[in-house]
């Protein structure tokens, strides 16, 4: 069951403001009060009240203590609450919902529902993740013309966004080499379709500012930032967004991506860099991947989760921080390929004031992998602990 996620946008100015309403000065919340008017005392009454040895009523006693205003003690502010958090972030690799592509043709012809092509074991974990990111390796639209010079063009009917919702997707990764397959109009439709479906996106936009903008979501008081960029094409066809044109954020030159990571680090408690990189169907890491991962972590990322090669690549730690170089295909085609769902478990302590302001006191991240197979247009998790152990062993060997 997903917890409520607060979307803080992506700029320093987009902060959650908590306003405390107080009564206006001089106003009595209880309303006007009546004042009793004392009647004058007659001279005869004064004489009757005076007795021998008593002081006149008209003269104050020298023994009287001067009156002082009553000071009302303000209630002490409640001590901040310190509590623990346990958050699960899920990551699934390449997904293609183009109705004319092989996996979707199979889905329409043979599946009664999504669990016929993605097994319930995966769907349960995906839906239960507090935030699930998926690589949206296509565009949602019925408009546009195929980008010239590309071998493959992927365009899904906007209604297919319901499949992402069924998966439990919270974020669609758009920094890839297929989200612009049908040009700016189709990319615009993609952005609007996802927004209308309540799914956030990262790595592309209507201009460069939006494409660079970190996506910051809050779960249980912890701010988590996602930043994404692509360097997938050897022959570049997918454009970088500009000040006034649609596109993605590219990271062939990493300067802008590093700036986005630094911006995210200044605003969030945990930062995830999502590069689209590497060589298709090759487990051999490029220098740009190994050096890039180090640079992203040094700039402020706490984890690096990559995609694009369609197969799994090495999983490792750099300075104690997790790096997944490629998630591989999750539900993309008919090939028999090892796949996995990656989960980051964030645990620690958070301090919360009476006004609702939060501060993370400690945070630890643990990477957990759930390997399986994409085969014959379907995706299934490892059947049991024995098969899971075997697949995890193969993933471990990728880094050697």
**Domain locations along the chain:** 86-398
- What does each C-alpha distance from 121 to 102, 150, 359, 378, 379 come to in angstroms? 23, 36, 35, 13, 10
Residue 89 parent element (H or E)? strand 81-95
Q: Are strands 222-230 and 155-156 parallel, antiparallel or unpaired?
A: unpaired
Kindly report the backbone phi and psi dihedral angles of residue 177, in degrees, each rounded to the nearest multiple of 5, phi listed first.
-95, 15
Tokens 């063009």 — which residue?
153
Q: What is the mean pLDDT of the chain?
A: 87
* pLDDT digit string, tens, across residues 233-284: 999 999 999 999 999 999 999 999 999 999 999 999 999 999 999 999 999 9
Please tell me the pTM assigned to this model.
Answer: 0.83
Q: How far apart are CA 363 and CA 359, in angstroms?
A: 11
DSSP string, 298-314: HHT-SEEE-B-SSSB--
CATH classification code of 86-398:
3.60.21.10
Return the pLDDT at 75: 64
Residue 375 burial by Cβ neighbours in a 10 Å radius (0-12, 13-18, 19+): middle
Residue 155 parent element (H or E)? strand 155-156
Tokens 């319930």 — which residue?
120
Identify the DSSP state of 114: G
Angle at 257 between CA 350 and CA 265, to 5 degrees: 15
Positive or negative torsion for Cα 270, 274, 275, 280: positive
Tokens 């000065």 — which residue?
25
Per-residue pLDDT in tens (0 to 9) along the chain, 400 residues: 566 567 765 433 333 322 222 333 333 433 433 333 334 444 444 344 344 443 343 344 444 444 444 455 556 678 889 999 999 999 999 999 999 999 999 999 999 999 999 999 999 999 999 999 999 999 999 999 999 999 999 999 999 999 999 999 999 999 999 999 999 999 999 999 999 999 999 999 999 999 999 999 999 999 999 999 999 999 999 999 999 999 999 999 999 999 999 999 999 999 999 999 999 999 999 999 999 999 999 999 999 999 999 999 999 999 999 999 999 999 999 999 999 999 999 999 999 988 888 999 999 999 999 999 999 999 999 999 999 999 999 999 997 7
- Give the pair of three-digit tokens for residue 370: 């759930």
Per the CB < 8 A criterion, the answer to whether 302 and 365 are in contact is: yes
Q: How many CB atoms lie within 10 A of CB 135?
A: 31
By three-state DSSP, how is residue 210 classified? helix
Q: How far apart are CA 290 and CA 175, in angstroms?
A: 19
Q: How far apart are CA 276 and CA 81, in angstroms?
A: 40
Buried b (16+ CB within 10 A) or exposed e, 227-262: bbbbbbeeeeebbbbeeeebbbbbbeebebbbebbe
């Amino acid at each position: 069951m997903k917890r409520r996620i607060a979307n803080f946008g992506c700029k320093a100015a987009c902060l959650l403001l908590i306003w405390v309403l107080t009564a206006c000065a001089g106003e009595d919340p209880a309303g006007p009060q009546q004042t009793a008017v004392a009647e004058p005392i007659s001279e005869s009454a004064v004489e009757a009240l005076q007795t021998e040895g008593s002081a006149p009523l008209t003269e104050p006693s020298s023994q009287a203590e001067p009156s002082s205003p009553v000071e009302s003690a303000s209630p002490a502010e409640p001590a901040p609450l310190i509590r623990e958090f346990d958050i699960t972030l899920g990551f699934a690799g390449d997904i293609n919902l183009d109705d004319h592509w092989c996996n979707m043709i199979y889905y329409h012809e043979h599946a009664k529902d999504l669990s016929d092509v993605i097994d319930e074991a995966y769907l349960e974990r995906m839906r239960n993740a507090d935030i699930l990111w998926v690589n949206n390796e296509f565009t949602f639209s019925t408009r546009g013309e195929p980008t010239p010079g590309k071998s493959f063009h992927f365009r899904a009917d906007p209604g297919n966004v319901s499949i992402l919702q069924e998966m439990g997707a919270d974020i669609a990764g758009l920094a890839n080499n297929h989200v612009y397959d049908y040009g700016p109009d189709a990319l615009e439709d993609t952005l609007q379709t996802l927004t209308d479906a309540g799914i956030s996106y990262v790595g592309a936009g209507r201009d460069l500012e939006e494409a660079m903008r970190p996506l910051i979501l809050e779960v249980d008081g912890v701010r988590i930032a996602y930043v994404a960029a692509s360097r997938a094409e050897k022959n570049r066809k997918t454009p970088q967004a500009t000040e006034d044109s649609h596109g993605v954020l590219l990271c062939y030159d990493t300067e802008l991506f590093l700036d986005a990571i630094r911006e995210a680090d200044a605003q969030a408690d945990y930062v995830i860099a999502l590069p689209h990189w590497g060589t298709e169907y090759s487990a051999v890491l490029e220098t740009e991947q190994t050096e890039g991962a180090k640079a992203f972590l040094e700039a402020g990322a706490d984890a690096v989760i990559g995609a694009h090669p369609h197969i799994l690549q090495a999983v490792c730690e750099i300075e104690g921080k997790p790096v997944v170089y490629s998630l591989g295909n999750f539900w993309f085609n008919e090939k028999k390929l090892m796949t996995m769902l990656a989960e980051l478990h964030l645990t620690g302590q958070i301090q919360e004031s009476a006004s609702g302001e939060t501060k993370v006191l400690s945070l630890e991240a643990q990477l957990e992998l759930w390997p399986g197979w994409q085969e014959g247009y379907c995706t299934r998790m490892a059947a049991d602990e024995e098969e899971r152990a075997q697949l995890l062993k193969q993933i471990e060997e990728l880094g050697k």
